Structure 1
Amino acid sequence: MTFFSKITGTGSFLPPKRVTNQDLTAQLAANGIETSDEWIFSRSGISARHYAEPAVLSSDLAVEAARRALDAAGLQANDIDLIILATSTPDFLGGFPSTACVVQNKLGITNGAAAVDVQAVCSGFIYAMAMADSMIKTGAHKNALIIGAEVFSRILNFEDRTTCVLFGDGAGAIVMSQSTEPGVLATKLHADGSQSHVLCVPATVNAGVVNGSAFLYMDGKAVFKLAVSALEKVANEVLEIAGLDATEIDWLVPHQANIRIMQSTAKKMNMPMDKLVVTVDQHGNTSAASIPLALDVAVRDGRIQKGQTVMLEGVGGGFTWGAAIVRM
């Protein structure tokens, strides 16, 4: 019997604390750092982002997004037999126990469902989707919970205005279920470790001591150049695998990093800008959470509808990138 995987529910969650560019400008000014709403928006398209409170962990955001996705899919927690969670800000130093296992426990899943974290930074959600798709198609799993969750505010250097203004916290989730009809039509993943230095947190831990900087570092110009090239190529690759033309894509849901990168990708695909799902203006860059967050927003406001074909694509530190085409 042939198995397919299909997205059956979406969900998302943003921490209540909303930080506008004006709020952030005032905070940075108190630290002697000059910036402005116009400076931030003109370079990124970002007007606001959300920050989690100090006691809130990635797993807490993930659980809220997961509950909403389960509800949308019409499933109970114990219907899930696989959890794959993408994050660069796990609950625990060293990444274990995995945040996926923490989420399993907080959701009350007691059936022994497999649970694992994926680390591919902003591409993590696409990596997780591709893995779940393969595992569902083999028949090994029936209902998978795929989550992107981040508290990036914890690793931002608020004395570096080139990076701290870009990122926010949040979580997005989907349920992927075994189906008799195709849902995930194609996926493609890539990485280039020779570019790991352009976007990283360059710290190590030895004997309980942090060596190096535990803040996010980004070479903005290098990332922009790599991202534009990588996203165009992987979009064409995944279209070829799916046997589709760009004109057959109803919606493009890219990683929400920078409006200029997103618009460049849509333009190279000859896709009208009104088919580009944009949430970066209100969410900032939420790394692995950005694609499922944007997908859920567009599903819930009625733009993305059942039967439509959607391209999801992301690029992030590693250097990693990937894309997926799904029929909703």
Structure 2
Amino acid sequence: MTTTVENMKEHNAILRDVAGYLPDERVSADYFAALVDDENLAGNVMFAAPAYRHHAAGGETSADMMLSAARVLTDRHGSDYFDDVSVVLTHSQLPEVPVRGCGGEVADRLGLRPETVLDVHNGGCAAFAHMIAIATALLRAAGGGTALLGLAQNSASQIFMQDQVRGKAQAAIPGDGAAAALVALDGAGSPVLGVATRSFGEYSADMTAVSAPTRKYWEAGTGQIHIGFTQAKIAKVLARGNRMVPAVAMEVADSIGIAPRDLDWLVTNQPNRTAPRQGIGWWLRTRRPPRRGRAFLRNWRDALELPESRHPDTFDECGNLFAVGVPLTLDAAVSDGRIHDGDVVMTSAFAHAGDFAAAAALRWGGRR
């Protein structure tokens, strides 16, 4: 199924390999169906529950999960795989430690002494393509080396399992997990054909953390922090996400001279899927039919004229992995034999309530 494209210009970066990690604890949709108390949003298409998701173990941190993913890479390629790392970039969905982030800890525990350590927070679900772009720029400026990318989604077991939050419709969707990748400017691997990152700061205030009673997230209090969803905000997010992900993917496809429908693979973030495909216990619990409609995954591939068979996802096993969804799904589709050497893969995602979007296309060249 390899796409042949003339005059493809490579983005002067190579994805050497990517690896995913899932915690051992696997939680079914039935657990949340028995807890549901958020009648107002339970039937919304945004909250059609996956069959399963994974939760980080008690005390398992972002750094722990990134290290677990990174060790998959050293197990594959040898203990010297990170010897040339000069840049470490990390993204945690829920940074456990204020101010410093976890990048320095990850580098230290891997025995690295990079020139640059950077915690990339604002990329959200689009962080993978964003980090590839940042890594490429930093490596070019330094004249070489490699960049280790570490991503962790750790809010499912912490934010969404709080006793005031786990009965809300939103709680059944996220799962925990991590991914790691190595990026270089040359050598063997998967050439990055094009990258686009786009900021829409006017929408940033639409993603809010709330509690009852109201408090700032660092203040002590009885109200547990969660995401402030309303029907009006959900409608805005659906409209923006449905537009942004295919738009930025089409921009990259045009820049490399390939029609979107000719892409071999589309790998996106996975906020939800079309209701009521999974989580039927959830809908039975609400005692009413769901509000039917087409959610992100189907709309995105339809916009790019791609069949479902070329749009892999891990939603039913992992739920919404936020920034980890793209690299972990890419790793899964390579591992199970769907993606082959020479295939053109478009990754695309949007972040938060639509304040950022990014896409990166690559020609898969194997694990190197």
In 1, Cα distance between equivalents of 2:176 and 2:318: 8
For the structure 1 residues 249 and 129, does the alpha-carbon distance in structure 2 shift closer, same or farther, using more than 3 Å as the test? Answer: same
1:77–1:108 contact (8 Å) kept in structure 2: no
- 1:39 CA displacement: 6.1
* 2:327 aligned with 1:322: no
In 2, Cα distance between equivalents of 1:48 and 1:102: 30
In 2, Cα distance between equivalents of 1:24 and 1:160: 7
1:85–1:118 contact (8 Å) kept in structure 2: yes
1:15–1:170 contact (8 Å) kept in structure 2: yes
Q: Could you tell me which residue of structure 1 aligns to residue 134 of structure 2? A: 131
Q: Could you tell me which residue of structure 1 aligns to residue 206 of structure 2? A: 198
Query: For 1:270-285, what aligned pairs fall within 5 Å after superposition?
Result: 270-285=305-320
Q: Could you tell me which residue of structure 2 aligns to residue 240 of structure 1? A: 254
Q: Could you tell me which residue of structure 2 aligns to residue 189 of structure 1? A: 197
In 1, Cα distance between equivalents of 2:44 and 2:172: 7
Which amino acid is the alignment partner of residue 80 of structure 1?
V
Bigger relative contact order, structure 1 or 2 (CA pairs below 8 A, ≥6 apart): 2
For the structure 1 residues 16 and 209, does the alpha-carbon distance in structure 2 shift closer, same or farther, using more than 3 Å as the test? Answer: same
In 2, Cα distance between equivalents of 1:3 and 1:253: 19
Query: For 1:216-227, what aligned pairs fall within 5 Å after superposition?
Result: 216-218=227-229, 219-227=233-241
- 1:233 CA displacement: 1.2
Which of the residues 324, 329, 348 maps onto 1:294?
329
2:152–2:179 contact (8 Å) kept in structure 1: yes
For the structure 1 residues 40 and 172, does the alpha-carbon distance in structure 2 shift closer, same or farther, using more than 3 Å as the test? Answer: farther
Q: Could you tell me which residue of structure 2 aligns to residue 23 of structure 1? A: 31
Which of the residues 71, 90, 95 maps onto 1:85?
90
Q: Could you tell me which residue of structure 2 aligns to residue 304 of structure 1? A: 339
1:61–1:149 contact (8 Å) kept in structure 2: yes
* 2:263 aligned with 1:252: no
Deviations 1:244-282 (A, max 9, x none): 211331110000112230111111111111000110111
In 2, Cα distance between equivalents of 1:272 and 1:117: 36
Deviations 1:191-250 (A, max 9, x none): 2222123333356456x5479863223332221111001112111111122222113311
Q: Could you tell me which residue of structure 2 aligns to residue 152 of structure 1? A: 155
For the structure 1 residues 62 and 152, does the alpha-carbon distance in structure 2 shift closer, same or farther, using more than 3 Å as the test? Answer: same
Which amino acid is the alignment partner of residue 115 of structure 1?
V
1:73–1:175 contact (8 Å) kept in structure 2: no
1:87–1:148 contact (8 Å) kept in structure 2: yes
In 2, Cα distance between equivalents of 1:210 and 1:21: 30
Greater radius of gyration (CA): 2
1:5–1:137 contact (8 Å) kept in structure 2: no
For the structure 1 residues 59 and 310, does the alpha-carbon distance in structure 2 shift closer, same or farther, using more than 3 Å as the test? Answer: same
Query: For 1:61-76, what aligned pairs fall within 5 Å after superposition?
Result: 61-73=65-77, 75-76=80-81
Gaps of 5+ in 1: none
Q: Could you tell me which residue of structure 1 aligns to residue 52 of structure 2? A: 48
2:153–2:324 contact (8 Å) kept in structure 1: yes
Which amino acid is the alignment partner of residue 325 of structure 1?
A
Residue range with higher mean Cα deviation, 152-161 or 287-296: 152-161
- 1:23 CA displacement: 2.1
Q: Could you tell me which residue of structure 2 aligns to residue 12 of structure 1? A: 20
* Bigger strand share: 1
* 2:61 aligned with 1:57: yes
For the structure 1 residues 171 and 140, does the alpha-carbon distance in structure 2 shift closer, same or farther, using more than 3 Å as the test? Answer: same
In 2, Cα distance between equivalents of 1:281 and 1:40: 18
2:47–2:173 contact (8 Å) kept in structure 1: no
- Tell me the secondary structure at the aligned position of residue 270 of structure 1: coil
- 1:42 CA displacement: 9.2
In 1, Cα distance between equivalents of 2:142 and 2:300: 35
Gaps of 5+ in 2: 1-9, 274-294
Q: Give the paired residue count.
A: 318
TM-score normalised by the chain length of structure 1: 0.87
Amino-acid identity (%):
24
Which of the residues 210, 226, 229 maps onto 1:215?
226
Cα RMSD (Å) = 2.8
Which amino acid is the alignment partner of residue 227 of structure 2?
L
Which of the residues 103, 115, 118 maps onto 1:116?
118
